[in-house]
């Protein structure tokens, strides 16, 4: 078993405290229990989930340590149980890792069948009420305690921290969406939304041999960015979308999704990877679905294997695309309030290096 070296300094965390907002506080850094992995966070990125949760006050209970995207170094592994990466490597202090957003309960039918992505009661990092049993449950912190059953993956040495950090949410979701669409090789792919998930889905579809990759986004800056990530064309939301075989919705705007699916050719597939709005009068043309063999699919949560897919994709292709340019220069935890308020703007991710003071 790896030696346990619990830090004597307390962890510093960004805590969502309900009405008062986000504050920074210190928390004792406990020794990991069997199966748990204590990670020192090098860089955390602020994904849309955090921003939405705070803006919309959706976090059911607080205080909550925010954040789930990030990359860090294993500080300690609990004694008495081996902790493995998604590739079956035994984790040890000093290893550079990323982690999945969701942790399966480990007990339901899906989890015991090895399908943690379909767990009935998953725990999402960055959304847990802070308890004595699990205080370090978010990545916007100097330290994160990953519970037994969490998905971890080693980061290959050539992949920079800022590029690896979004793997656990955005890139894993993109990998899951591309997989859900079935084979994209030789198919015309349209991706709605050129944020981090959309850009990753575009790049993954291109790598997988898509016949074409078209981005749809209302903002010119994001459309230009999509071209740098492999899109053949980038269209405004009101432009006519050419016939396509696969639609991946990474934007969450139901009105655009409904309209773009009109462009699906026979046998086409549409995957909803992050619905955030409803269209009360949207009508699904069931007769067309049946006649043309279309599929409208929800995504669900990414599974541990999608984290492995995301890391493998970055390892193979990160140098080909300007990933580092769409992540901000890291700032300290003190900048987290501003980071949460401003994420989703001209850059895809605000990066926080918790060890920095500012």
Under the rule (CB under 5 A), what is the footprint of Zn ion?
A: 47, 49, 104-105, 108, 111, 119, 169
Nearer to Zn ion, 108 or 237 (CB): 108
**68 contact partners, CB below 8 Å, separation of at least 6:** 47, 49, 50, 99, 101, 124, 125, 126, 127, 138, 139, 168, 169
Q: Count Cα atoms within 13 angstroms, Cβ side, for 148.
A: 14
Question: For Zn ion, which is the closer residue by CB, 41 or 119?
Answer: 119
Q: How far is the CB of 80 from Zn ion (least distance, A)?
A: 22
Is 169 or 264 the residue whose CB approaches Zn ion more closely?
Answer: 169
Residue 60 CA to residue 53 CA, distance in Å, equals 9
Q: Closest distance between Zn ion and the C-beta of residue 243, in Å? A: 32
Considering the complex, what minimum distance in angstroms separates the CB of residue 259 from Zn ion?
Answer: 26
95 versus 119: smaller Cβ distance to Zn ion: 119
Minimum distance from residue 58 beta carbon to Zn ion (Å): 13
Burial 175-184 (b: 16+ CB within 10 A, else e): bbbbbbbeeb
Nearer to Zn ion, 178 or 184 (CB): 178
Question: Distances in Å between the alpha carbon of 249 and those of 92, 177, 191, 333, 348?
Answer: 38, 9, 6, 32, 17
Beta bridge partners of 100: none
Total Cβ atoms within 10 A of residue 95: 19
Q: Supply the DSSP symbol for 165.
A: G
Residue whose CB is less far from Zn ion, 61 or 112: 112
Residue 124 vs 232, nearer CB to Zn ion: 124
Nearer to Zn ion, 108 or 258 (CB): 108
**Residue 214: which of 202, 222, 225, 204 has the closest Cα?**
202
C-beta of 310: minimal distance to Zn ion in Å? 13
The Cα–Cα gap between 196 and 292 comes to 32
Q: Which is nearer to Zn ion, 119 or 162 (CB)?
A: 119
- C-alpha distance across the termini of the chain, in Å: 36
Cis-peptide into 296, omega within 30 deg: no
Question: Of 197, 183, 155, 189, which is closest to residue 47 (Cα–Cα)?
Answer: 197
Closest separation in Å from C-beta 113 to Zn ion? 10
- Per DSSP, the residues of 14-82 read EEE-STT-EEEEEE--PPPPTT-EEEEEEEEEE-HHHHHHHHTT--SSSSEE-----EEEEEEE-TTS-
């Amino acid at each position: 078993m790896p030696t346990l070296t619990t830090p004597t300094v307390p962890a510093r965390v960004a805590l969502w405290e309900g009405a008062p907002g986000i504050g920074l506080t210190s928390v004792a850094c406990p020794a990991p229990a069997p199966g748990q992995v204590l990670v020192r966070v090098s860089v955390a990125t602020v994904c849309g989930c955090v921003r939405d949760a705070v803006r919309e006050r959706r976090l059911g209970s607080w205080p909550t340590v925010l954040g789930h995207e990030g990359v860090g170094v294993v500080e300690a592994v609990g004694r008495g149980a081996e902790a493995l990466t998604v590739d079956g490597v035994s984790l040890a202090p000093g290893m550079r890792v990323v982690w999945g957003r969701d942790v399966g309960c480990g007990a339901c039918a899906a989890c015991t069948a090895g399908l943690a992505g379909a767990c009935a009661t998953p725990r999402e990092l960055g959304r847990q009420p802070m308890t004595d049993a699990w205080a370090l449950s978010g990545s916007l912190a100097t330290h994160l305690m990953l519970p037994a059953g969490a998905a971890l993956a080693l980061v290959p040495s050539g992949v920079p921290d800022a590029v690896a950090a979004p793997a656990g949410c955005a890139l894993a979701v993109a990998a899951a969406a591309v997989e859900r669409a079935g084979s994209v090789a030789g198919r015309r792919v349209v991706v709605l939304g050129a944020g981090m998930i959309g850009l990753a889905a575009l790049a993954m579809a291109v790598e997988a041999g898509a016949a074409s990759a078209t981005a749809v986004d209302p903002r010119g800056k994001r459309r230009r960015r999509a071209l740098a990530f492999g899109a053949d064309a980038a269209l405004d939301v009101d432009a006519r979308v050419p016939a396509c075989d696969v639609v991946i919705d990474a934007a969450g705007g139901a009105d655009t999704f409904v309209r773009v699916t009109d462009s699906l050719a026979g046998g086409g597939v549409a995957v909803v990877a992050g619905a955030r709005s409803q269209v009360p009068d949207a009508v699904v043309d069931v007769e067309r679905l049946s006649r043309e063999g279309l599929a409208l699919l929800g995504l669900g949560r990414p599974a541990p294997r999608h984290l492995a897919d995301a890391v493998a994709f970055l390892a193979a292709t990160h140098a080909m695309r300007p990933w580092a340019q769409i992540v901000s220069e890291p700032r300290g935890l003190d900048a987290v309030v501003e980071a949460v308020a401003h994420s989703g703007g001209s850059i895809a991710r605000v990066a926080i290096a918790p060890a920095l003071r500012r």
